[in-house]
Structure formats: structure tokens, C-alpha cells
Amino acid sequence: MEEKKTLSVIMPVYNEVKTLKEVVMAVLATERAHELLIVDDGSTDGTRELYPEIQKLDPAIRVILQAKNQGKGQALRTGFDNATGDIVIIQDADLEYDPRDYEQILKPIEEGRAEVVYGSRFRGGPTKTMFFLNMIGNKFITLTANILYNTILTDVETCYKAFKREVIQGIPLRSKGFDFEAEVTAKILKRGHRIWEVPISYNGREYDEGKKIQPFKDGPIAIWCLIKYKFVD
């Protein structure tokens, strides 16, 4: 039987002055967030000046300011440590991912069928075409994960990852950057949690709009992390 559970939305933010408020409004519009934890990772573009206004939108919003930029992984770890909801989901502060997809992501957990759910951009949802090199890098990272951990994922690098809170808080995470995606996937699978995937929509942004991940830099790091965490924890 499906049971509505409390939801902590973890939003890592670094220099997202143009999109932050719109994303926050979209999260609030779902009426699912028990709390929205915004972890600002040392923004310098005026994003921090928005927080007094944003915090007035809803008492569920909490803002954590990190003194300097340390990376997305570190921001997420801070958010996980402070989460109190039954379920924790990651939400980027750009406009690539649509919070209206929350319901289908949360459903397998709320029905008791899953402890971890990934929203996949490659399972048939409506998507804006992504960069070819980014897609190839993502496919290779995902293939490596499937070979090493005996699974059939389609999108390791997706932002939309939802976890039972006790699962994510019980995993020792060390990554500070974009290698978080590989580390958390490896450690979830090593602990015997089967990852569910559901289709989501995707509106990939351009590099001149603020896209940050670099396939030639971040891809090899992710591959190395998948290999490393196969043998160490």
C-alpha cells in the first residue's frame, strides 16, 4: 500500500543566480517537500543575496552556507547530514530537471518496492537532446558500472537520485566533486541495494547558460572511482 512519506529535497547551489528562484518555486509547487535544504557552495555571482527573499517563500526552506567552494559532492554530503525526511532526493539548482517528476520517482519507495530510485534520462521520457560527447561519456560510465557491479542501469550520472534517508546516511561518502555520482552508485550496489530506474524528462542547458560538467575532465575521474570503490570502501 502506498504511504506518503516526508521528503527532504537537497539542492546544492553554486553560482545559480539566474535560475535559483524559479527552481525553488517549482519544488514548492509540488507540495511534497517536508524540507528544502539549499546548500550554497561558496557562490560569488550574487546568488547569496537572494536567500533572504527565498527563505520568506516557505518555512520548509533551510539555507546552509559553505564558506568556500568545495564541490557538488561536499555540498550534497552536508545536505544529507542535515536531512530529516523519510526520503531524500537530489535537486540541481538549474532548470534541467523538473520537480513534477517527483511523484513517479518516489512511488517505488512509498510502495515499499525500493530503497533507492534513479530518474533516468534514457528510459523514454521527453528530453531535449544532449551534447554527443556528454552522452558518450555518460554511456561509458554507466557501462563500466554495469560490468563492475553486475547491474543494468541506464543513467549513473543523473541528478535525480532518491534514497530512504537511513540508506544514504548510512553510507560513508568521501567525494567532493562530480565523482559523487560514481561513488554513491558503487557503494549502494556493494551494499546489496538494487537501484530502481524510472523515466524522467530532461531539459539540458548549454555551456553558455552555466552547464558545469566537463566530459573530458570529469568522465575519467568517475571511471576511476567506480574501479576504486569496487575494491575499497
Q: What is the pLDDT of residue 126?
A: 74
Query: What is the enclosing helix (H) or strand (E) of 37?
Result: strand 33-40
Q: Find the farthest-apart pair of alpha carbons in the chain and give their distance in angstroms, rounded.
A: 47
* Assigned domain for 41 exists: yes
Q: Classify 202 as helix, strand or coil.
A: strand
Where residue 40 sits, what CATH number does that domain have? 3.90.550.10
Buried/exposed code over 170-189 (b: 16+ C-beta within 10 A; e: otherwise) = ebebebbbbbbbbbbbbbbb
* Assigned domain for 193 exists: yes
Q: What is the pLDDT of residue 60?
A: 96
Query: Tell me, what DSSP letter sits at residue 162?
Result: E
Is residue 162 within 8 Å of 109, Cβ to Cβ?
yes
Q: Calculate Rg over the CA atoms of the chain.
A: 17
Q: What is the pLDDT of residue 198?
A: 98
Domain of 202, in residue numbers: 7-231
* Assigned domain for 2 exists: no
Q: What is the pLDDT of residue 3?
A: 65
Predicted TM-score (pTM) of the model is 0.92
* Assigned domain for 1 exists: no
Q: What is the pLDDT of residue 132?
A: 79
Q: Residues 78-129: pLDDT tens digits? A: 999 999 999 999 999 999 999 999 999 999 999 999 999 999 999 987 776 6
Low-confidence ranges of the chain (pLDDT < 70): 1-3, 128-130, 205-216
* Assigned domain for 151 exists: yes
User: Helix 215-231 to helix 132-149 angle, to the nearest 10 degrees?
Assistant: 0
* Assigned domain for 63 exists: yes
* Assigned domain for 147 exists: yes
* Assigned domain for 213 exists: yes
- Domains: count for the chain: 1
